[in-house]
A and B are shown apart, each in its own frame.
Chain A
Amino acid sequence: MEVTTRPVRGGMFNVEVLRGGSGSPVLFLHGAMGLNWDGFLDELATRHTVVAPFIPGYGGTSGDEHLLDFHDLITFFLDFLDAEGLRNLPIIGHSIGGMIAAELAAVQPDRFTKLVLIAPTGLWDPANPVLDFFVASPTDLAQALYFDQDSEPAKRAAYTPEDAEGRVAVALERVKSLRVAAKYLWPIPNRGLNKRIHRISAPTLIVWGADDLLNPPSYAQAFSAKIPGSRVELIPNAAHQVQEERPRAVAEAVLPFIA
């Protein structure tokens, strides 16, 4: 894996992109909790060139101040794809990244060969509300994100540095990321995808952790019902960070689908 920078719109944005693997390209859009090169991306990289950009405001991607709303964010991603020369490729998105992926696939249905939505946000069912993860206590949030609190990914997420400086840095990075997520998901994660989702024409796979307490699995059916021909894959013993928790199981569903 290498960390690269891609200028977009004449340098208005400098996008930090994680790249790895070889083969035909696949775009991965990360979730609200941020981007790490994890076991799932390793699996993808065995057969594809993975392109995983940080959303502006996350990681090292600059230019967040130029984006006011979700519409601006989608336009930014179209510019990013143009700058990368990416078309005719599968797109995979997790959580807020899934919401972006679905929107992009609705806006430019011809651009993407396949669509993989992993526990995407973007729809709202008052009977099954998405957890208000912006205010959840650390314990509740950990349980919503990870099925097994003793697993490596859960422990990595809970890690707090010993030194004060390190703790401040971790806390600031967290506020910085959640602020960006809030810009697109506040107060309810519904930016009108419901009105545009019918335009998605790419074959679609919907992957969900069966124990997702953040974005309840009932939304898998809601997405599936709105995307004709889509298929749902429920992964047992996994919560919202499903591909991080069960990289092999998710890859086994995703790799044949995008092949």
Chain B
Amino acid sequence: MKIEMFHLMPYRDLPADFAEKYHSVWVDIPSHLFDARKAHQYYNDTLDELEYAAAMGYDGVCVNEHHQNAYGFMPSPNLMAAALARRTSDVAIIVLGNSIALYNPPIRVAEEFAMLDCISGGRLVAGFPVGSSSDTNFGYGMNPATLRDRYYEAEDLIMQAWSNPDVFSFDGKYTQLRYVNIWPRPIQEPHPPIWIPGGGSIETWGWCVEKKYLYAYLSYAGFKRGKQVMDGFWNKAAELKAEPNPYHAGFLQLVAVADSESEVQDKFGPHGEYFYNKMLHVYPGFADAPGYRTLETVKAGLLGQTTAFGERPPALTFKDLREQGNIVAGTPKQVTEQLEQIIKDLRIGHLMILNQFGSIPHDLAMANIKKTATEVIPNLRHLWPEWEDHWWPQPLRNVQKPGPIYSQASAAL
């Protein structure tokens, strides 16, 4: 079993009346709510937390891409990954990922991921999300009617750029290149493992199975609704006669660990509510541009086969969130038991954990990482011993360590 720490890096200081007073946390959130001095602190806290998780024994650290929002503002996760590559040495660097349809030409992603793979010594996991509608259609103005087609073309181009040893031309509908010949190329051959973060689009299941890409269901709807989606994936895998290797699938879960029930409630309660009631306060129109989801997925949503789209969740309490399974919180024993159940029920070999969510301050995030890493994760590692993880990076045997941090005095020597 592999367990990774995922970080969204949210804006932690939105006003208390944000949901009542403002239209949306995404796309048109007013800039006067943003304080760059705070962002300085958040970015550095985030990197510290991920580096700490790596040191505490998490198998990987995950960063992802979003635009024009307070929910998670790493517009370029590759910058974060580059910093992490230098300050960690044995964890997987999981960029989950780059919204490949947004880049013109998409070989920009092939190049940057190759850079990260070279810098990190072959520790990169390359994530190719379509990207949320808010990010792609609204933040980046990408046409929803052609976004998916553009995405598939970009994936084809990037994979060719990584695997074709020759200079070649590419005559696509969206990208034309007379000479494709990227430098650098990734260390991992033929390419880093590919993870596909999904939001519940049903056609992504079959695509991941056929391409042998990992399917990672990233949702905050919790494991109860997550099971519907993962069942859809596994049913599709069975239909296409793929082996039911749990490592083929990943799931994201918010986790809070403390020594007692009351401590969990007191310390994490307000932050869980902040996450669900402020960070997910997205104007429904921005959640699903017409054409962003295929008619099949829209139909499945309307018929209740998968999670509902575009509806604002009602205000939730921490208690609701625990009961519904949105947040797994409790003592180490409670959390271990619940996570084991989720891992088995959803049949996932990769569990991505959000230890910092909503407004959780740095010190509490660090404590949560420590407790999860030392009192929960060791009791989950034994799961799925009979399966091999084909979706994990294959780094160099001897990864070069960064040089020392020079001071003026040491540099002079």
Contact = CB atoms under 8 A, between A and B. Distances in A.
Interface of A: 68, 132, 134-137, 167-168, 171-172, 175-176, 178-183, 186-187
B137 A175 contact: no
A134 B290 contact: yes
A136 B286 CA distance: 10
B143 interface: yes
Contacts of B299: 168, 172
Interface of B: 137-138, 141, 143-146, 173, 283, 285-286, 289-291, 295, 298-299, 302-303
A135 B141 CA distance: 13
A168 B295 CA distance: 11
Contact of B290 (A167, A168, A179): A179
Residue among A136, A178, A186, A187 facing the most chain B CB atoms (10 A cut-off): A186
A178 B146 contact: no
B232 to A, nearest CB: 19
Contact of A137 (B146, B285, B298): B285
A101 to B, nearest CB: 21
Contacts of B143: 182-183, 186-187
Contact of A168 (B145, B291, B302): B302
Contact of A171 (B141, B144, B286, B302): B302
B175 to A, nearest CB: 13
Nearest to A188: B141
B145 A134 contact: no
A187 B141 CA distance: 5
A172 B295 contact: yes
Contact of B289 (A134, A136, A137, A180): A134
A183 B173 contact: no
A182 B145 contact: yes
Closest 10 CB pairs of A and B: A135-B285, A179-B291, A178-B290, A183-B145, A187-B141, A179-B290, A186-B143, A168-B302, A182-B290, A182-B145
A182 B298 CA distance: 16
11 contacts: A135-B283, A136-B285, A171-B302, A179-B144, A179-B145, A182-B289, A182-B291, A186-B141, A186-B143, A186-B144, A187-B143
A183 B291 contact: yes
A171 B302 CA distance: 8
Given A183-B145, A186-B137, A187-B138, 7 more contacts: A132-B285, A167-B302, A178-B290, A182-B143, A182-B144, A182-B145, A187-B137
A214 B298 CA distance: 26
Nearest to A171: B302
Contacts of B285: 132, 134-137
A136 B23 CA distance: 13
Given A168-B303, A172-B302, A175-B298, A135 B286 contact: yes
Contact of A68 (B138, B173, B298): B173
Nearest to A176: B295
Chain A interface, >50% SS class? helix
Contacts of A181: 290
A102 B141 CA distance: 25
A203 to B, nearest CB: 34
B24 to A, nearest CB: 10
A183 B303 CA distance: 26
A172 B173 CA distance: 27
A53 B254 CA distance: 52
Contacts of B138: 187
Contacts of A179: 144-145, 290-291
Nearest to B293: A175
A178 B298 CA distance: 13
Contacts of A168: 299, 302-303
B305 to A, nearest CB: 12
Given A134-B290, A182-B290, A68 B146 contact: yes
A183 B289 contact: no
A135 B134 CA distance: 11
Contacts of A167: 302
Nearest to A136: B285
Contacts of A178: 290-291
A175 B146 contact: no
Contacts of A183: 143, 145-146, 291
Contacts of B145: 179-180, 182-183, 186
Contacts of A132: 285
Contacts of B289: 134-135, 182, 186
A156 B141 CA distance: 32
Contacts of A175: 290-291, 295, 298
B296 to A, nearest CB: 10
Residue among A167, A176, A179 facing the most chain B CB atoms (10 A cut-off): A179
B311 to A, nearest CB: 13
A186 B291 CA distance: 11
A198 B314 CA distance: 52
Contacts of B291: 175, 178-179, 182-183
A2 B238 CA distance: 48
A136 B289 CA distance: 11
Contacts of B146: 68, 183
A186 B298 CA distance: 20
Contacts of B298: 171-172, 175
Nearest to B149: A68
A214 B206 CA distance: 40
A171 B299 CA distance: 9
A134 B303 CA distance: 22
B6 to A, nearest CB: 29
Contacts of B302: 167-168, 171-172
B309 to A, nearest CB: 11
